[in-house]
Amino acid sequence: MLNMATRIVQGGFSKGQFALIPMRLQKCNTGPQVNGARNYSSSSSNDMTDNNSNDLKGVTDDSIKKSVFISQSYDVFTNLALEDWLYKNFDFSHHHLLMLWANDPCVVIGRHQNPFIEANVSNLMRKGITLARRNSGGGAVYHDRGNLNCTFFTPRERYNRKYNLNIITRALFREWGIKSDISDRDDIVISGKKISGTAAKLGQPNAYHHCTLLVNSNKLHLSDALAKDEVNIISKATSSVRSPIKNLCDVNRAVNVPQLLSAIGYEFLRTSATELEDGGRDQAMKQRGFQLINPTEKWFPGLTEIREMFASWDWRLGKTPKFTVQKELEMKAEDKEHKVLLSLDVEKGIITNITLTLPTNDVVPVVSNLLNQPYTEDSLHGMMDALKLVPSSDMKQAMSGL
């Protein structure tokens, strides 16, 4: 993501005066420096989480520093791991952080969602689009390199979603004169169309709020990636609220990801830590500036294990809340077509039961090698095709209760 940093400097800058900085973390006063980069594992670091010292009483606005971290990775699992690592390990009581990141094509669902409701998982796999499950709530989103992601980290007591969203809307207006609104659902909208969705993780002592920004995302790929299979899924999982969308480049052709990254980061640094007060250049100069981050195990010990968790089948699909898939079929018996209902019960991503509900309302168990196997849309369609080949005599026996 180095090409996204062409207007970035480390402190001491004013609006319109930017320069490219090298791949290093500047003004990091603690932790060993190796090749200009900071190792965050250092036990002497003042920025590591200490639950016993996270008393915010007496912490003044002026004593809070700010940094903008720009991830150099486009891998969604690495970026989710970095986000989680910072959330679990940093002490944000005197240091608020904005992480900016982008991913290669992927669909990211909320922690409590069912991926088979939000997208066609088999179709994603065929097209090489990654499926990821994040650690926060909210709905499903499509990411590509035309989509900028923002994560605002603070202590739980200073969590303020409206503050964060206003940083973004002010940056859009300051840089391009784009007027945008914050909806009741905390989406950012322009003329009623959504450019940004939002979600959060609230814990102790830390919290984060993250959101997406559609800059010049491929809307055809987005629509296709979030198209789901036409089946009935009974589930208590959180469902996404579908909304009309708009790219920022549709509003102003000059908007691009590198400039937006710079504009939002600068707006964050020039705004006071707890109030939406514009401190301008003087406020920005007091901060720790923009820092290019290489999210590797060397600098973030334990990151690899977190990434492996996010990439695992158990997390992405096995965490799906229990659900039942139903599909109506037509099967022949006595030269007549009869409608039957195929049902598959799925728990922790595994098919645990398969039944047919006959026109007589009798429920017949189905014996299949798909039992105790991972559920996919392809397995459902395979089952449907197999049932259509059942001899009518067998169907007649089932219909007669034999």
Q: What is the pLDDT of residues 150-168, one digit of tens each?
A: 999 999 999 999 999 999 9
Are 365 and 271 found together in one domain? no
The pTM for the full model equals 0.85
Are 217 and 331 found together in one domain? no
Are 121 and 20 found together in one domain? yes
What percentage of the chain carries pLDDT values higher than 90?
66
User: What number of H helices and E strands is found in the chain?
Assistant: 12, 19
Are 265 and 351 found together in one domain? no
Are 210 and 75 found together in one domain? yes
pLDDT bucket at 249, cuts 50 / 70 / 90: very high
Q: Token pair of 154, please? A: 């603070």
Which range of 26-35, 273-282, 316-325 scores highest in mean pLDDT? It is 316-325
Are 75 and 167 found together in one domain? yes
Last residue of some domain: 316, 348, 382?
Answer: 316
Last residue of some domain: 316, 334, 365?
Answer: 316
Range of weakest confidence among 29-43, 122-136, 215-229, 385-399: 29-43
Are 287 and 393 found together in one domain? no
Contact 97, 86 (CB under 8 A): yes
Are 251 and 363 found together in one domain? no
Range of weakest confidence among 95-104, 139-148, 287-296, 324-333: 324-333
Are 304 and 342 found together in one domain? no
Higher pLDDT, 2 or 147: 147
Contact 115, 133 (CB under 8 A): yes
Are 112 and 253 found together in one domain? yes
Sheet containing 350-357: give its strands across: 232-235, 323-333, 336-347, 350-357, 363-365
pLDDT tens column, 279-295: 898 988 888 899 999 99
Are 334 and 202 found together in one domain? no
Are 282 and 395 found together in one domain? no
What percentage of the chain carries pLDDT values higher than 70?
82
CB within 8 A of 377, min separation 6: which ones? 116, 120, 121, 122, 123, 229, 231
CATH number at residue 224: 3.30.930.10
How many domains does the structure of the chain reveal?
Answer: 2
Its domain, for residue 371, covers: 323-399
Among candidates 143, 213, 222, 218, which has minimal Cα distance to 172?
213
Last residue of some domain: 299, 316, 333?
Answer: 316
Calculate mean pLDDT across residues 247-269.
97
